[in-house]
Amino acid sequence: MAKTILILPGDGIGPEIVAEARKVLEVVNQRFDLNLTLTEGLVGGAAIDATGVPLPDATLDAARQADAILLGAVGGPKWDQLDTAIRPEKGLLGLRSNLELFANLRPAILYPQLAEASSLKPEIVAGLDILIVRELTGGIYFGKPRGIRTLENGEREGYNTYVYRESEIERIGRVAFEAARKRNGKVCSIDKANVLEVTVLWREVMDRLAKDYPDVQLSHMYVDNAAMQLVRAPKQFDVLVTGNMFGDILSDEAAMLTGSIGMLPSASLDRNNKGMYEPCHGSAPDIAGQGVANPLATILSVAMMLRYSVGAEEAASTIEAAVGKVLDQGLRTRDIASTGATVVSTREMGEAVLAAL
Ligand code: NAD
């Protein structure tokens, strides 16, 4: 059956990296007869410039109708002074919450060819393969009340609310347990149950869920320790499951273990495996327009999209193999280049993947 893919390039390096990923998608679409229709829309700063809002109705409608969404990145200094309610990031948060994309899957895999790109010793990271499952539509990023208020004495106070319902914890927990079943059978749940009641409940729900998955081993860890363990001995982990804010931070830390945030894809899924796929990194305004951004995270996001939302496993693994081949050839964008590597531009890297396909 024909499927529709909505492409949202966004801001900064977004359009540059998405252009390369789109070419890859077009090639596999034909090669594997996937019958995908590709459409494009505006989100983030690009949408603010064109329409005044970060998530125009037309984009949200198109996203609702699409079977999957490929997103570049949003944000940049140009829009940093705007009120938080209409900042580019609101476009992203709006898509995640409106489409109920509650499960964010962020693999951190260290390609053997890039072991030297990690800031950690190769023996600590070589062969790393962990999956961070982050709750994406709840927690402190969405909790109400929130705001900045003025107290009676005239001093201002900022406040947010950290809240999770049992049902929200349970559905993300199930995603993690199911994922662990297909991997090495271990889930580590990250919380701060020594301080925050909301995560006392989180821990209780995870323990309860574990009874449904006797084949999966559940452990718990405080988030501060997890941050430490990720740099001390990251290979102890298989699947990590955590809330929105802790997951935001830990997944960037895990990304760095692999040497470059420019290599890591992500998927955000709803209950029916409809998903939004995007690189883990942001819009990198510091290098936007220079043609040096690494497009591989976005290209690998296309592979994840084909696997989870299109059900085209062969096309997905063909793309992943092509990326491996390009790394074998010694081609590197600047962010993953070690001495002696052949440094290529964003477009050259995209073309090398196409050739390897
Ligand atoms: P960032 O991920 O954009 O950049 C961090 C560093 O990594 C920068 O030095 C950047 O040059 C580098 N980098 C990132 N992606 C790269 C790539 N593909 N190739 C090579 N180098 C790459 O994070 P930041 O600087 O904290 O944020 C910049 C902007 O992006 C902000 O406006 C922020 O709000 C936004 N942001 C958006 C998303 C998203 O759209 N999902 C996520 C995070 C940050």
Residue 161: CB atoms within 10 A of its CB come to 12
pLDDT beneath 70, residues of the chain: none
CA 346 vs CA 69, 111, 118, 151: distances in Å: 22, 19, 21, 51
Q: Does ligand 1 lie within 6 Å of residue 73's CB atom?
A: yes
Q: Does ligand 1 lie within 6 Å of residue 204's CB atom?
A: no
pLDDT of residue 299: 98
Cα of 92 from ligand 1 centre, angstroms = 14
Nearest atom, ligand 1, residue 335 CA = 20
The first and second tokens of residue 70, run together, are: 């490929």
Report the alpha-carbon distance of residue 188 to residue 265 in Å, rounded: 21
The pTM score is 0.87
pLDDT of residue 266: 94
Q: Does ligand 1 lie within 6 Å of residue 285's CB atom?
A: yes
The full set of domains in the chain, from first to last, is: 1-102+270-357 (3.40.718.10), 115-262 (3.40.718.10)
Q: Does ligand 1 lie within 6 Å of residue 75's CB atom?
A: yes
CA 164 vs CA 101, 136, 160, 161, 221: distances in Å: 16, 11, 13, 10, 18
Q: In the chain, what's the furthest Cα-to-Cα distance?
A: 68
pLDDT of residue 261: 82
Helix axes 346-356, 14-31, angle to 10 degrees: 10
pLDDT of residue 21: 98
Q: Does ligand 1 lie within 6 Å of residue 262's CB atom?
A: yes
pLDDT of residue 295: 98
Report the alpha-carbon distance of residue 21 to residue 193 in Å, rounded: 41
Cα of 282 from ligand 1 centre, angstroms = 3
Residues acting as catalytic residues: 141, 192, 224, 248, 252
Cα of 131 from ligand 1 centre, angstroms = 20
**Which residue minimizes the CA distance to atom 8 of ligand 1?**
284
**Which residue minimizes the CA distance to atom 27 of ligand 1?**
282
Nearest atom, ligand 1, residue 279 CA = 41
Cα of 281 from ligand 1 centre, angstroms = 5
